[in-house]
Amino acid sequence: MTYIQEKVTSIGGLTSHLVQTDKFKTNTLLLQFRAPLEEATVTKRALLSYVLKSATAKSPTSQELQSRLDYLYGATLSSSLSKKGEQHIISFVMTIANERFLSNEQELLKQALSLLGELVFDPLVDEHAFDSKTVGKEKRALKARIQSIYDDKMRYASQRLIDEMCENEPFHLHTYGYENDLDSLTPVDLFEYYIKMINEDAVDLFMIGQIDEEKIIPELERIFPFTKRVEKLEGIQNQETTFPNQERVIKESQPIEQGKLNLGFRTNVRLGDPLYYASQVFNGLFGAFPHSKLFMNVREKNSLAYYCSSSYESFKGFIIVMSGIEFSNYEKARTIIIDQLSDIQNGAFSDHEMSLTKALLKNSILESLDNPFSIADILYQQVASGVKFTIEEFIDGIENVTTKEIVEVANQTKLDTTYFLQGAVKTN
Partner 1 sequence: MKKQYFSQLDETIFFHTLDNGLKVYMLPKQSNKTFATFTTQYGSIDNTFKPLNQEQVVTVPDGIAHFLEHKMFEKPDGTDVFHDFGEQGASANAFTSFNRTAYLFSSTSNVDKNLNTLIDFVQTPAWTDESVEKEKGIIGQEIRMYDDNPDWRLFFGLIENMYHHHPIKIDIAGTVESISHITKDLLLDCYHTFYHPSNMILFVTGPIDPEHIIHLVEDNQGKKDYTNKKAIEHVFPDEPRRVAKSESILHMAVQTPKCLIGFKEPKPYRSGKELMKHEIAVNLLLELMFGRGTERYRTLIDDGLIDESFSFEYTEEYGFGFSAIGGNTEQPEQLKQKLREMVINFKNETIDTKSFDNARRKRMGSILRSLNSLDYIANQFTRYKFNQMDLFELIPELEKLTIEDLKQTLHEHFSEEGFTSCTVLKK
- Sequence letter at residue 26: T
Single residue of 39, 76, 350, 402 touching partner 1 by CB under 8 A: 76
Is 390 a binding residue for partner 1 by CB under 8 A? The answer is: no
Q: How far apart are CA 199 and CA 57, in angstroms?
A: 20
Question: Does 370 interact with partner 1 (rule: CB under 8 A)?
Answer: yes
Instruction: Looking at residues 17 to 46 of the shown chain, list those that interact with partner 1 (rule: CB under 8 A).
Output: 22-26
The footprint of partner 1 on residues 302-341 (CB under 8 A) is 303-307, 324-326
- Kindly report the backbone phi and psi dihedral angles of residue 248, in degrees, each rounded to the nearest multiple of 5, phi listed first: -115, 145
Q: Closer CB to partner 1, residue 156 or residue 194?
A: 156
Question: Closest by alpha carbon to 342, among 267, 411, 269?
Answer: 411
Binding to partner 1 (CB under 8 A) within 193-212 occurs at: none
Residue 63 found at the interface with partner 1 (CB under 8 A)? yes
Residue 401 in contact with partner 1, rule: CB under 8 A: no
Tell me if 72 contacts partner 1 by CB under 8 A: yes
Q: Which residues 6+ apart lie within 8 Å of 260 measured at CB?
A: 153, 154, 156, 157, 322, 323, 324, 419, 420, 421
Residues 103-162 that bind partner 1 (CB under 8 A): 103, 137, 140-141, 144-145, 147-148, 150-154
Among residues 188 and 250, whose Cβ is nearest to partner 1? Answer: 250
Nearest CA-CA partner of 360 in 285, 413, 269, 274: 285
Binding region for partner 1 (CB under 8 A) out of 160-168, 221-229, 356-364, 382-390: 356-364
Residues 5 and 366: their CA atoms lie apart, in Å, by 14
Indicate whether 101 belongs to the interface with partner 1 (CB under 8 A).
Answer: yes
Residue 255, CA atoms < 13 Å, CB-side half-sphere: 2
Q: Is 4 in the site for partner 1 (CB under 8 A)?
A: no
- Contact code string over 274-293 relative to partner 1, x by CB under 8 A: ---------------xxx--
Interaction between residue 297 and partner 1 (CB under 8 A): no
E strand intervals along 72-201: 76-84, 87-97, 125-126, 129-130
| Least distance to partner 1, CB of residue 353, Å | 9
Name which position in 36, 74, 218, 347 contacts partner 1 (CB under 8 A): 74
Which residue type, as a one-letter code, is found at position 281?
A: V
Contacting partner 1 (CB under 8 A), which of 210, 242, 258, 381?
Answer: 258
Query: In 3D, which of 229, 242, 270 has the Cα closest to residue 85?
Result: 270
Q: How far is the CB of 241 from partner 1 (least distance, A)?
A: 33
Question: Cα–Cα distances in Å, from 240 out to 15, 169, 218, 269, 368?
Answer: 29, 11, 42, 11, 31
Alpha helices in 255-350 (DSSP H): 276-283, 293-294, 330-345
Among 9, 12, 20, 61, binds partner 1 (CB under 8 A): 61
